[in-house]
A = this chain, B = another copy of it.
């Protein structure tokens, strides 16, 4: 049995190495590659991904799983062996359910659709990309149908990023959350917006980067096993448990941009760096879901990095780094500036409070499109109507409306967005649990110390990788399921104080 287990691990590591190399091809493409490399690079990534898929769907892996499962079931559920077999089975079944022919067709369509979208968005030309998006919708339905027996057609698509979550449950959670959020947003935006002029002075790039990296290091991001580079869109990427990198982008006249993107990506990276080293090269060696991953990026970025206590410690350091820009600016003004709430068009620029409304709009439309309640052709009008309803604001065009996010135009419709809001909800729930275990955490944050919080997160979440599902993790940590109350309480407390609600 040990031979079979090792055989499985060897095969998984081979697949992992192909995927890691494909990831490096992607990282290099977005950081250092000269433009002339683009054509061959796309081909090289496709080759490696195809080979990884072929190796992973090898029937020999299915046979090994068949042979290992009876033994694994005799082991404790939480044991590494049982977990590796269980998680590998989940991914093996998922990948073998989808014919290679379909995967190739979807990849080819996605690449084409992305190209058309990349030209259509700046041209504000939804009509041009519409037929491609219709085909994406057809393919998304076709993909879902490879997983018969679902409650909602979105469920198998959601499984790709947030395994085990169901459209119906998410819809119910989101409806509750929306009912709470809309009045908060309305109450805040009825007041004049906070003055954030202090964030829009000239901040030299190198100093911005140095300041962000220093905080990431204090959070616990290990630069012996990571680094930061610049890319047009920030992201976190892992080549092994010893090499988890982040990227950022810098705007000279927006101090928020690099700073909070670094804290956000550092949160993702802390999760991946915290996974048990024994899992290296296997399917256990990754964060368990989009929602849990986002809970960590948002916890470090927002709950910690946008808190008053945090800046009690760091604002004097920030002033020292940028004396000309900040010496006349009070902590209070700065704190209000980085937490300014406003009705805005673009999801990725949105503040903590309005952000979820952007996400829920997209999630609801995904369900409506899949169900056939909404036609692709009607999407721009539906977008405008819903935006007016939620924000009291009409997008002036489709570029900054339905065309703003690449997700639908580079992959699937369904399961793309829920993780962002699930992550916000979980971030507050997990942070509450951390405070219950360690009431000293807020005081430590005010001293610029994060070891207790980081240690607790590593112990309860990070080290497990994919061993537990999001629901299992949440149950272990909080004793119950995902709940919106801690998040609502967090927002009410914080923004109630900021806006005298």
Contact = CB atoms under 8 A, between A and B. Distances in A.
A400 to B, nearest CB: 32
B39 A242 contact: yes
Interface string A16-38: 01101110110010001111111
Contacts of A17: 43-44, 47-48
Interface stretch (A118-126, A222-230, A310-318): A222-230
A225 B34 contact: yes
A185 B296 CA distance: 67
Contact of A24 (B28, B35, B226, B227): B28
A13 interface: yes
Contacts of A13: 43, 47
Nearest to A43: B17
B226 A34 contact: yes
A19 to B, nearest CB: 10
Contacts of A245: 34
A497 interface: no
Copies of this protein in the assembly total: 2
Interface in A220-250: 222-227, 229, 239-243, 245
The binding surface of chain A is classed by DSSP as helix
A56 to B, nearest CB: 13
Contacts of A241: 40
Given A13-B43, A24-B21, A43-B13, A36 B225 contact: yes
Interface residues of A, number: 40
A256 B421 CA distance: 57
Contacts of A34: 223-227, 242-243, 245
A227 B43 CA distance: 21
A81 interface: no
A276 interface: no
A44 B13 CA distance: 9
A20 B28 CA distance: 13
A35 B225 CA distance: 6
B48 A18 contact: yes
Contact of A242 (B37, B51, B280): B37
Interface in A179-231: 222-227, 229
A18 B132 CA distance: 32
Contacts of A41: 239-240, 243
A465 to B, nearest CB: 15
Nearest to A15: B47
Interface in A253-312: 280-281
Contacts of A227: 32, 34
Nearest to A17: B47
Nearest to A19: B44
B240 A281 contact: no
Contact of A35 (B35, B47, B51, B224): B224
A39 to B, nearest CB: 6
Interface in A462-498: none
A224 B245 CA distance: 26
A180 to B, nearest CB: 43
A280 B42 CA distance: 14
Interface of A: 13-14, 17-18, 20-22, 24-25, 28, 32-41, 43-44, 47-48, 51, 222-227, 229, 239-243, 245, 280-281
15 contacts: A17-B43, A21-B25, A24-B24, A32-B227, A33-B243, A34-B225, A35-B225, A36-B222, A36-B225, A37-B243, A39-B240, A39-B242, A40-B243, A44-B240, A51-B51
